[in-house]
Structure 1
Amino acid sequence: MNTNDEKKVVLGVDERPKFIQWIVLSIQHLFAMFGATVLVPALTGISPAVALITSGIGTLAFIIITKGKAPSYLGSSFAFISPIIAVKALELDPASGVGMGSFLVGGFMVGVTYIIVALIIHKAGTTWLMKLLPPVVVGPVIMVIGLGLASTAIGMVTNNAAGEYDITYVLIGFITLTITVVTAIFTRGFLSVIPVLIGIVGGYLSALAMGVVDIEPVLAAKWFEVPAFQIPFLNYTPSFSWRVILLMVPVAVVPIAEHIGHQLVLSKVIHKDLIKDPGLDRSMFGDGIATILASTLGGPPNTTYGENIGVLAITRAFSIYLFIGAAFFAILFGFCGKVAVLLSTIPSPVMGGVSILLFGIIGSSGLRMLVENKVDFSIKRNLIISSVILVIGIGGAAIHVGNLFSLEGMALASIIGVILNQVLPGKEVVDFEKMFKD
């Protein structure tokens, strides 16, 4: 680290902040992750309060496993929105043979997958990942995640609870989207990091003014209330289904690639090589444990959050204590009954409004990966791989073998993309660090 960088650092990674500074900066990180973390459960029918608590617990577990050397916050992963919705639909279909709570078993297996990858990295390094997940595979898969959810966002904005077109919903969605876009474009500093949260607040207020929101449940709710955890053998009996596993586990290639990219970017921000110390194997292991803990309590799979890395870059306060504080605040909010009920009263057009932007950004980030890594589409190999991934993923292609085996949509597209990259001639060696350059 050079002298100029040292002067810019407000708090070092292992530096304990003053009490007021600790509280304020921790809440800042809470706000940065809040919008995205509660959006995922809101879209998938999971309790936002449980998601907040599991994100806090997962973050604390990650910090312990990485020995407090990797300042990161772990929250709900957008990659699993579509698979969770698909699995929960199967749970409601008696003919599918998929038991209730199977999406949590799928999430548990996603965490196990992270751990397996971590163990392989520990033994074999990262070269095999470079070959398995080049930009020509990961980029289109990320595009599928965003574009595949486009119809969901539009449906939330245009249709009311009865499934009918509602101009009031459209107006609320437009207001929410406008506030989010204006905040992202025209604000600076910390406000530019939380446009989703500001958009949700603005959209909620507009929905309240239009009579779409009923705040009576919020007023009647208790300040302290234990949320609806989904604990195996207590609330449900876990059932193993290959159909569920194949819907969720292949999608793990995206958060795995995302995790590595975040650790590389974070290393640059805090001027420490996190790939070596605490090690990519240890941070990936921490991500796996966080996801296993989340699924055990009823929350969605977790991933490291780029929003909080953005806050670090802006504030130059790298202290791990800030993430410990943010995790405890998230857990506290999760046990606040009024907060939980408030989150449940956010109307669908508000979530749909921010989702239009977020899902589009996800799709665009996949395109950005292709552009920044100069993937040459005049080469037939690259054109074929990306084309097949996009059509299979967005088109919802599926392979069914009775009720025993099913592989579809994004999961099928991910697997086929990896296979095509391995079998088609002309594979190039990828500069992995350049692939995720900030």
Structure 2
Amino acid sequence: MVLGWTKHGDGKHLAPGEVVRPDERLSWPRMMGFGAQHVIAMFGATFVFPLVMGLDPNIAVMMSGVSTILFLLIVKGKVPSYLGTSASFVGGVFAIRAAAGGDTAGADAIVTGAILVAGLVLALAGLAIHVLGVRIIHRVFPPVVTGAVVMLIGFGLAFVVADTYWPQDHWVALVTMLITFVVIVLFKGFIGRIGVLVGLVAGFVLSWVLDRVAGPITSVLPGANLRDASGAACQAEGTYCVATAFPHDRVDFEPVAQAAWIGLPEFHGPDFKTSAVLLVLPAVIALIAENIGHVKAVGEMTGTDVDPYVGRAVAADGVTTALASSVGGSPTTTYAENIGVMAATKVYSTAAYYIAGVIAILFGLCPKFGALIAATPGGVLGGVTVILYGMIGLLGAKIWIENRVDLGDPVNMVPTGAGIILAIGPVQHFIGGDFTLEGIALGTIVVLGGYHLLRAIAGPAPGRAPEQAGSGPA
């Protein structure tokens, strides 16, 4: 059933070895607690990544709640999952904003328009999976390609840390990173799973204390205090118009004080540019792999066959991404953090996720909360994102290891290595006119196109069927 749950036992206790299935629930007060826990578990990344992409975190949090409820309805309540902000689009978004210069409002619309189209492509991919079966994805995107794309998305964001966040306050960035390290490793339970959020809060508090004790910091804020070569003020950031260092507080609470306690976020519509769409399309590959992995993980934990719902889950992610970006929100994806919460609690009830969705929507209706999130200093984001981006990149390596990809095979190694370097650069390839492929988009095309070209020339790897080429033995 999509809605309506059977009470598990007395609704209060779980015997050893028992689980609460997706169509069951405990008492409603307990389900409220589990729902709140899911919101906390996803909270760090769900508002960090909108900040990184320059999008409204209030809209992101609100639409994550809406998206979660819609996702559950589309999968008919068979796949308990929370949809938070996807990190896979960050590289493409930075490339779009760089091309837009200082036009922040225009860039916001172009970014969300590009993500909306990517969401529709993801929804169509989900429909194809539902009709044709999961095997079609493994043929087009074998593990060597999927792992490479995930890796280049993470490592391709290194320049964001190096050029944008870390220079704003390198000591706060370093301390924030170290605190996050310790929390993630030292605490094995729930605190460890929200280590990024703990590190971010600690860095925020440290920045505020330094403002009081050490005074303002002199550093470069992107898009602020723009000057040309002569020192005159200018408008659009570019080759001859750059941001210069100036004294400023690390934390600015003025927008928080001015924001209302209750109100709607500042929604905005999308704008569509073909060049921008091409920059974010590589994220679709990563999202397909991510969703399939998460759905299968849920199936293993609940002991149920969820393969018939993989296509629905991917399509639902695409639909919710398109819906969120249509009002100025961030792209969505299923979250491993929430899968970890389910594994720890043995409560897989979708009732907890509906409750979590409602809580997130209520958070989104508090503009003051959104303004507080937006006040996060750049140095703090530097300390957090250096970990997040690195972890994303290493997830690609994890895909290779789990599927025993043979990197000794030149068909696997050559396009993969080239694509990753192009993304990390980030390398620009001018096509003509104003159209440029660069970084993650260029790297993805090289990995995907290069792999299939070389595999067609070389033929299937010895001892493997064509659809298994690039992966190790089952």
Shorter-chain TM-score above 0.5: yes
TM superposition score normalised by structure 2: 0.82
Q: Describe the shift of the 1:158–1:103 C-alpha distance in structure 2 as closer, same or farther (beyond 3 A).
A: closer
Provide the secondary structure at the position in 1 that maps to 2:88: helix
Q: Deviations over 1:1-28 (max 9, x none)?
A: xxxx984344221123323212211111
1:415 counterpart letter in structure 2:
I
Query: What do the CA deviations read for 1:207-253 (whole angstroms, capped 9, x no partner)?
Result: 11111324354345321122111135xxxxx3x32211211113311
Does 2:81 match 1:72?
A: yes
Give the match's secondary structure for 2:159.
helix
| Alignment match of 1:270 (pick from 284, 302, 321) | 302
Distance 1:177 1:131, change over 3 A: same
CA contact (8 A) 2:97 2:107 kept: no
Per-residue CA deviations over 1:133-162 (Å, capped at 9, x if unaligned) read: 1222122222211212123223455423xx
Equivalent positions of 1:20-59 (< 5 A) are 20-59=29-68
Name the counterpart of 2:265. Answer: 227
Aligned residues of 1:118 and 1:282 also touching (Cα < 8 A):
yes
* 1:262-301 equivalence runs, <5 A: 262-276=294-308, 279-301=309-331
Superposed, 1:369-388 pairs within 5 Å as 369-388=399-418
3-state SS in 2 of match to 1:72: coil
Matched, 1:343 2:373: yes
TM-score (normalizing by structure 1): 0.88
Structure 1, unmatched stretches of 5+, are: 161-168, 233-237
| Counterpart check, 1:184 vs 2:214 | no
Correspondence for 1:166:
none
Structure 1 residue aligned with 2:25, among 10, 13, 16?
16
Q: Distance in 1 between matches of 2:37 and 2:127?
A: 34
Checking the alignment, whether the CA contact within 8 Å between 1:153 and 1:356 is kept in structure 2 is yes
Q: After superposition, what is the alpha-carbon deviation per residue over 1:54-90, rounded to whole angstroms, capped at 9, x for unaligned?
A: 1111111101111111111111111100101211232
Structure-2 residue corresponding to 1:124: 132
- Of the three residues 82, 86, 90, the one matched with 2:99 is 90
Deviating more after overlay: 393-402 vs 294-303:
393-402
Change (3 A) 1:376 1:229: same
Return the offset for 1:53. Answer: 1.1
Task: Tell me: CA distance 1:214–1:83, structure 2 relative to 1, closer, same or farther (3 Å).
Answer: same
Structure 1 vs Structure 2 CA RMSD: 2.3
Q: Deviations over 1:189-218 (max 9, x none)?
A: 211211111111111111111113243543
Unaligned runs of 5+ in 2: 1-13, 212-249
Contact 1:137 1:385 in 2 (8 A): no
Residues 1:209 and 2:209 are matched in the alignment: yes
Q: Alpha carbons of 1:157 and 1:410: their partners in 2 closer, same or farther (altered >3 Å)?
A: closer
Could you give the per-residue CA deviations for residues 28-73 of structure 1, whole angstroms, max 9, x where no partner exists?
1111111101111111110110111111111111011111111111
Query: How do 1:248-327 and structure 2 match up within 5 A?
Result: 248-276=280-308, 279-327=309-357
From the superposition, tell whether residues 258 and 100 of structure 1 become closer, same or farther in structure 2 (CA, over 3 Å).
closer
CA shift in 2, pair 1:374/1:43, >3 Å: same
Q: AA paired with 2:317? A: D
2:118 is the alignment partner of 1:110: yes
2:183/2:198 contact within 8 Å kept: yes
Classify the secondary structure of the residue corresponding to 1:303.
strand
Distance 1:6 1:369, change over 3 A: farther
1:153 alignment counterpart: 161
Describe the SS at the equivalent of 2:25: coil
Whether the 8 Å contact between 2:415 and 2:451 is mirrored in structure 1 is yes
1:256-292 residue CA offsets vs partner (Å, 9 max, x unmatched): 111111111111112222112xx11211111111011
Q: 1:14 to 1:358 in 2, by over 3 A?
A: same
Task: Decide whether the 8 Å contact of 1:147 with 1:360 is kept in 2.
Answer: yes
Aligned mates of 1:13, 1:56 — CA distance in 2 = 18
Contact 1:55 1:327 in 2 (8 A): yes
> Larger Rg: 1 or 2?
2
Instruction: Report SS of the residue matched to 2:359.
Output: helix
SS at structure 2 position matched to 1:123: helix
Look up the SS of the partner of 2:24 in the other structure. coil
Provide closer, same or farther for how the CA distance between residues 306 and 216 of structure 1 changes in structure 2, counting only shifts above 3 A.
same
| Contact 2:46–2:84 (CA under 8 A) maintained in structure 1 | yes
Q: Using the alignment, how far apart are the partners of 1:405 and 1:255 within structure 2? A: 25
- The answer to whether residue 253 in structure 2 is matched with residue 245 in structure 1 is no
Q: Corresponding residue for 1:393?
A: 423
Cα distance in 2 for residues equivalent to 1:288 and 1:335: 24
- Give the aligned residue type for 1:231: G
Q: Which amino acid aligns with 1:48?
A: P
